[in-house]
């Protein structure tokens, strides 16, 4: 039986994939899971979405979207034709042939990996696992998670990986708000527990990704994702540190970076900001640092970059306080308007946004804080943060009523000339006002 099980299960699943009769399952319908569902449906798969949040299920059933760049018309069409549905009932997992895990992997209070959502998901799958299923972990994590955590949980019912079911890691590479790169044209990294696992996962995702890149193991795929984001974290930390030095030297760091970027080789521009945001870059380096300690290894370079980036909101508020002091004002009891709640321009994603920390620091120093963000009308429920604010109207009179306007996110929709014209004082963390001609004496870059 052991000799024939591998080709039988593998061949049957590969045939379903080829015929597009395979049913996709996606656990976690957030910024990764919902776009993945859209693309799977787009090539003809039927997809079942799973999430513990009943509000998301209600939105999908009503044909509505809760993510800006996902068109609700697509949801209405797919739900109406029964190509896509969502549920909180994990007992329906056996209906799916290929299951993608797209759940959060945050940090705990000690900056260590918090894999409670991955573990809970694995337990739910294990309770419903059947022969012939493919399970793919997409959540960013440390090298070894798929083989050391998921595999033992999934095999405890007696099914064998590579024979009865298939398991792989394939890191998400979503870049919300980027019109140039979508799921289809971003190469997909895949590392399976066995060669059969890699082959099945590659066939499944090969239907929606233009290019699939196979690596030797899940651990190699897991570390690939961490390297991508650590590369960005380290380079952003470098330019953030240079920004602090440039402020003391009276040099414009943005001018320096733009000038260096004219070199056609050996340089890639990174830009400073008020801190790191998004789910990946602020978190991923700590995952590898934590895992490295298991091997008695200190990732000093990576940890230093994390420390520099983490301190940037404090640096920005310090600069803001210095600027207000020069105007004869204090932060305490001042009215401050934060522009932008999203972690980057033109998206509605607030995960790990620096704006959260900026607002909390301003509160700590006694400021009265409001915010405006056309993409985020109300602060969502945030893990570890209790901010109950709604976006205020951005009118000339309202802008003028604040002691300071802090530009935290450089949304394209903002009219920076109008903002500077009517503001009393502007702190610009994104170089968003670089083209503003009038009122430059009111601008402080931080």
- Residues marked active site are found at 280
**Chain Cα centroid distance, residue 410:** 18
| CA gap 156, 440 in Å, rounded | 65
Strands (E) across 330-442 are located at: 335-339, 368-372, 404-407, 426-428
Q: Is 177 exposed, middle or buried (0-12, 13-18, 19+ CB in 10 A)?
A: middle
For 87, the 3-state DSSP assignment is strand
Backbone angles phi, psi at 404, to 5 degrees: -155, 140
Tell which residue, 341, 331, 303, 313, has the closest CA to residue 404.
331
Token representation of residue 438: 């009038």
CB atoms within 10 A of CB 30: 19
Report residue 136: phi and psi, to 5°. -125, 120
Residue 423 near residue 405, CB atoms below 8 Å: yes
Strands annotated E in 316-356: 335-339
Using CA atoms, how far apart are residues 176 and 346, in angstroms rounded to an integer?
Answer: 9
User: What size, in residues, is the chain?
Assistant: 446
From 393, 391, 397, 439, select the one nearest 416 (Cα to Cα).
439
Which residues make Cβ contacts (< 8 Å) with residue 302, sequence separation at least 6?
230, 233, 234, 285, 288, 289
**Residues 6+ away with beta carbon under 8 Å from 206:** 212
Q: Spell out the alpha helix ranges (H) of 206-353.
A: 218-249, 253-260, 284-292, 300-310, 312-326
Backbone angles phi, psi at 62, to 5 degrees: -90, 0
Contact between residue 49 and residue 86 where contact means Cβ atoms under 8 Å apart: yes
């Amino acid at each position: 039986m052991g000799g024939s099980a591998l080709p039988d299960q593998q061949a049957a699943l590969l045939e379903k994939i080829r015929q597009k009769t395979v049913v996709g399952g996606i656990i976690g319908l957030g910024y990764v899971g919902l776009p993945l569902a859209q693309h799977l449906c787009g090539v003809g798969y039927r997809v079942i979405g799973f999430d513990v949040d009943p509000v998301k299920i209600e939105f999908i059933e009503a044909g509505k979207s809760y993510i800006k760049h996902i068109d609700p018309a697509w949801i209405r069409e797919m739900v109406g034709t029964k190509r896509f549905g969502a549920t909180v009932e994990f007992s329906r997992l056996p209906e799916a042939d290929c299951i993608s895990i797209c759940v959060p992997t945050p940090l705990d209070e000690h900056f260590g990996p918090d894999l409670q959502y991955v573990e809970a998901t694995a337990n739910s799958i294990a309770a419903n696992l059947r022969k012939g299923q493919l399970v793919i972990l997409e959540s960013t994590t440390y090298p070894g998670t798929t083989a050391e955590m998921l595999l033992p949980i999934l095999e405890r019912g007696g099914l064998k990986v590579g024979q009865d079911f298939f398991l792989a890691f394939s890191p998400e590479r979503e870049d919300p708000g980027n019109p140039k790169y979508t799921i289809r044209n971003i190469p997909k990294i895949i590392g399976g527990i066995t060669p059969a696992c890699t082959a099945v996962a590659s066939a499944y995702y090969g239907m929606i990704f233009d290019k699939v890149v196979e690596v030797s193991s899940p651990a190699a795929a897991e570390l690939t994702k961490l390297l991508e984001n650590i590369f960005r974290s380290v380079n952003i930390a470098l330019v953030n540190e240079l920004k602090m030095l440039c402020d003391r030297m009276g040099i414009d760091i943005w001018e320096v970076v733009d000038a260096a970027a004219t070199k056609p080789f050996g340089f890639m521009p990174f830009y400073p900001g008020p801190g790191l945001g998004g789910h990946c870059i602020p978190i991923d380096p700590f995952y590898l640092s934590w895992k490295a300690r298991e091997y008695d290894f200190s990732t000093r370079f990576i940890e230093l970059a994390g420390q520099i980036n983490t301190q940037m909101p404090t640096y920005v508020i310090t600069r803001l306080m210095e600027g207000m002091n020069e105007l004869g004002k204090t932060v305490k009891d001042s009215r401050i308007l934060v522009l932008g709640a999203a972690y980057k321009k033109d998206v509605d994603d607030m995960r790990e946004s620096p704006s959260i920390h900026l607002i909390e620091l301003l509160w700590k120093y006694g400021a009265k804080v409001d915010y405006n963000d056309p993409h985020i009308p109300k602060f969502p429920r945030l893990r570890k943060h209790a901010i109950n604010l709604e976006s205020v109207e951005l009118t000339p009179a309202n802008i003028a009523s604040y002691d300071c306007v802090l530009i935290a996110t450089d949304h394209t929709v903002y009219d920076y000339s109008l903002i500077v014209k009517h503001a009393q004082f502007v702190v610009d963390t994104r170089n968003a006002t670089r083209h503003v001609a009038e009122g430059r004496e009111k601008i402080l870059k931080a």
